[in-house]
């Protein structure tokens, strides 16, 4: 990926954060929109649940998700 493309993606991401109401909206936007811009086909985002010491899936996007939604 060229540096200019990467900068464009970062600018797009920073602008898209405006209007997001919570962290979950940001994570779903990240999984759905930016991963494809980076050239990936799917994405799963996990956050750490500190008290339980486990990972919790918060957002996902890709071929398997799209099949499930159909």
Q: pLDDT for 16-70, tens place per residue?
A: 888 888 989 889 888 888 777 777 888 899 999 999 999 999 999 888 765 555 5
Secondary structure class of 41 (helix, strand, coil) = coil
Asked if 42 and 32 count as a contact pair (C-beta separation under 8 A), the reply is no
Instruction: Enter the pTM of the model.
Output: 0.68
41 φ/ψ angles, rounded to the nearest 5 degrees: -100, -20
**Stretch 5-12: mean pLDDT, rounded?**
81
**pLDDT of 3:** 62
Q: What is the token pair recorded at 50?
A: 């500190």
**pLDDT of 1:** 56
**pLDDT of 49:** 96
Per-residue confidence band for 8, with pLDDT thresholds at 50, 70 and 90? confident
Spatial separation of the C-alpha atoms in residues 49 and 25, rounded to whole Å = 18
Asked if 46 and 56 count as a contact pair (C-beta separation under 8 A), the reply is yes
């Amino acid at each position: 990926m060229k540096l200019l493309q990467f900068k464009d993606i970062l600018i797009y991401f920073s602008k898209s954060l405006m209007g997001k109401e919570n962290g979950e909206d940001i994570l779903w936007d990240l999984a759905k929109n930016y991963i494809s811009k980076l050239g990936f086909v799917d994405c799963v985002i996990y956050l750490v649940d500190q008290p339980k010491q486990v990972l919790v899936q918060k957002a996902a996007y890709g071929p398997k998700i799209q099949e499930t939604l159909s």
